[in-house]
Structure 1
Amino acid sequence: MTAHLKMAELHCHIEGAASPALALQMARKYNVDVSGIIRDGTYVWEDFSRFLTCYDAVAELFRTEEDYALLAETYLTELADAGTIYSEIIVSPDHGNTIGIGSDAYIAGLAAGIEAARAKTGIEGRMIITIIRHLGPSAAEHTALYAARRTHPLVTGFNLAGDERLFSVADFARAFDIPRDSGLGLTIHAGEMAGAFSVRDALDHVRPSRISHGVRAIEDDDLVRRIADEGVVLETCPGSNVSLQVFPDFTAHPLRALHAAGCRVTLNSDDPPFFHTSLRQEYEIASQVMDFSDEQIDGMTRTAIEAAFIDEATRARLLASL
């Protein structure tokens, strides 16, 4: 059991962290029928495409700055209560524009929630702005320019998410140059729904310090060695990978093989209620199913804090707490 171990998370999409109970609360607030996406207190989807549809429908239930403050505060408080000391949430200013409150209000609401959770529990939180792959390179560059302005000090990173099967990583190289020049940390979704080639493309064209998922690098031994040699951190999400059938079960998941090869790996929940998981459950899976020792799991937490997009004083304080 890992209940005595502190945790840190680098990879969670904030709308994907909304529990069905909170989504139902928002649906009642706005009189929205959610019977097609929530049944018996569980999100309903069948494959990756329908998961994205379900995710978008849940995201549309949060419509005001206050709604987003509630979402962030609720999730980070839950994390802190479970023993988490640090969390990075993936956020999409484009969604703020879609729902009509604008990017600034969207970010401000999330920031208020992060700060409220920190005041209550001491948990540190930061935001990673993401561009949406299936919206295309032009929209991505527009969002990148917004991210580079760093309208809130809790915005510290930049990511690419969405349907990995559309466009190529090279199409978004310019979008990543913009936040890199502004000092934001870089991570990118690759090696989840697409194979090892997508991880190699990400390393070649974006040069991130972290890869979101990256687990299908295991299909290429040379690539695994490169990841280990370059010290690129993998934000692994085993529960998500198995739920989406990237791998059939946890025994087939490559986390142990990647760790044994010297790759710097971390544990994350991705979209926890959609995948019937939590950050604590991911730690339990690593311990009970994958047979990692407490020392090895604590090392993954240390890796997460070492790779976090935070100032050095905060990093030192968090590392000292381990």
Structure 2
Amino acid sequence: MSFAARRASDSPPRFPLAELHCHIEGAAPPALVLELAARSGVDMSDVIADGAYVWHDFTSFLKAYDKASTVFRTEADFAALAESHLAGLAEQGALYAEFFISPDHARAGGVDPDVYTAGLSRGIVEARERHGIEARMVVVGVRHLGAGAVEGAARFAARPNFPLITGFGLAGDERIGHHKDFAKAFDIARDAGLGLTAHAGELCGAESVRAAIEHLKPARIGHGVRAIEDPDLVSEIAEKGIVLEVCPGSNLALRVYPDIAAHPLRQLVEAGVKATLGADDPPFFHTDLANEYRLAAENGLDASHRLAITRNAIEAAFVEGDVRRRLLEKLGLSALALGAPAASE
């Protein structure tokens, strides 16, 4: 065994992570946004101060997010964003990641959505080659732009142009519109064979989750934590195997819950709900994926529960079957290195 191999084998194994819920523009570090803004002559002083994003509620968060996203202009910009985001996840121990992409945000920045997606695709390939992490993209429609825009995003996702697009979802301000307004968009995506997810149960209560399930029939719900307010709904989610993409860090930052002790993640898991963990918009909420797993530990989930969360994410990923099998094999090896089984029980 070489000296380098001995050193690697002596290093403690990293806890295996996987992420299904992160918005790629929301993963952009403020320093990178400022650098690109200076190149384009965009004044970002109203949304970035002292190296951090400035916002105080969900509406101002969306404003900061939307403006920061406009500084990415070229295919190379988006490739660099995706590759650096995935490199950071790989360093934290992530085996797999999905991120949300928005053709409407590309257009708002004056970028052709095909150029945007080509750049992000390139970044995924570069990250796979350099860091060994696998990734896919989920196109989201922005609900506060209206049903027509969401249907347009679904049609964009449904095209065969970009094989790394494997899912479709609904994002944006949950307080605007009703889930039934977006049923046609989900039919378009479903007919194209895309995996389906929808944001619900974050700003709005359990009724939002119930409406998303009833009208959109997604395999996964983004956030979904406020389902806890309706025990019958929690039972339904568990029985149907609907997966919740839980983001404790953003829930705390947006004051959905006052602290991690009050967060319902453990209650949901104990009720049989399949949960995953995501950082949502990491620099906006001063978090990252590894921190989400630490928050889960503080919420009372031990290592076996957290390994099950990673398994849930891989099993629920919008990814090809052969890739899923390879990821589950890697998870098993990682769990053995940690001295724990990788089973979901």
Q: TM-score, normalised by structure 2?
A: 0.91
Per the alignment, in what secondary structure is the counterpart of residue 62 of structure 1?
coil
Which residue does 2:337 correspond to in 1? none
Which residue does 2:226 correspond to in 1? 216
Which structure 2 residues correspond to residues 1-12 of structure 1 after superposition, within 5 A? 4-12=14-22
Q: Is 1:37 aligned to residue 51 of structure 2? A: no
Question: What number of residue pairs does the alignment pair up?
Answer: 320
1:223 and 1:313 map into 2 onto residues whose CA distance is 33
1:19 to 6, 29, 40: 29
Residues 65, 101 of structure 1: 8 Å contact kept? no
Alignment-mate amino acid for residue 126 of structure 2? A
Per the alignment, in what secondary structure is the counterpart of residue 111 of structure 1?
helix
Q: Is 1:317 aligned to residue 323 of structure 2? A: no
Instruction: Report the alpha carbon displacement of residue 42 of structure 1 after superposing the two structures with TM.
Output: 0.9
Which residue does 2:316 correspond to in 1? 307
Say which one has the larger Rg: 2
2:199 and 2:267 map into 1 onto residues whose CA distance is 20
2:100 to 90, 93, 110: 90
Q: Is 1:290 aligned to residue 303 of structure 2? A: no
Q: Is 1:99 aligned to residue 109 of structure 2? A: yes
1:122 to 132, 137, 150: 132
Per the alignment, in what secondary structure is the counterpart of residue 315 of structure 2?
helix
Per the alignment, in what secondary structure is the counterpart of residue 217 of structure 2?
coil
Alignment-mate amino acid for residue 304 of structure 1? A
Q: TM-score, normalised by structure 1?
A: 0.97
Instruction: Report the alpha carbon displacement of residue 99 of structure 1 after superposing the two structures with TM.
Output: 2.2
Instruction: Report the alpha carbon displacement of residue 96 of structure 1 after superposing the two structures with TM.
Output: 2.0
Identity fraction in percent:
55
1:77 to 75, 82, 87: 87
Residues 157, 186 of structure 1: 8 Å contact kept? yes
Instruction: Report the alpha carbon displacement of residue 30 of structure 1 after superposing the two structures with TM.
Output: 1.4
2:319 and 2:173 map into 1 onto residues whose CA distance is 28
2:136 and 2:313 map into 1 onto residues whose CA distance is 13
Which residue does 2:257 correspond to in 1? 247
Per the alignment, in what secondary structure is the counterpart of residue 54 of structure 1?
helix
Q: What is the Cα-based RMSD across aligned positions, in Å?
A: 1.1
Alignment-mate amino acid for residue 313 of structure 2? A
Instruction: Report the alpha carbon displacement of residue 3 of structure 1 after superposing the two structures with TM.
Output: 7.2
1:306 and 1:150 map into 2 onto residues whose CA distance is 24
Instruction: Report the alpha carbon displacement of residue 150 of structure 1 after superposing the two structures with TM.
Output: 3.0
Q: Is 1:177 aligned to residue 155 of structure 2? A: no
1:278 to 288, 298, 307: 288
Alignment-mate amino acid for residue 180 of structure 1? R
Residues 101, 139 of structure 2: 8 Å contact kept? yes
The gaps in structure 1 that reach 5 residues or longer are none
Q: Is 1:111 aligned to residue 92 of structure 2? A: no
Instruction: Report the alpha carbon displacement of residue 21 of structure 1 after superposing the two structures with TM.
Output: 1.4
1:137 to 140, 147, 158: 147
The gaps in structure 2 that reach 5 residues or longer are 1-11, 332-345
Which residue does 1:155 correspond to in 2? 165
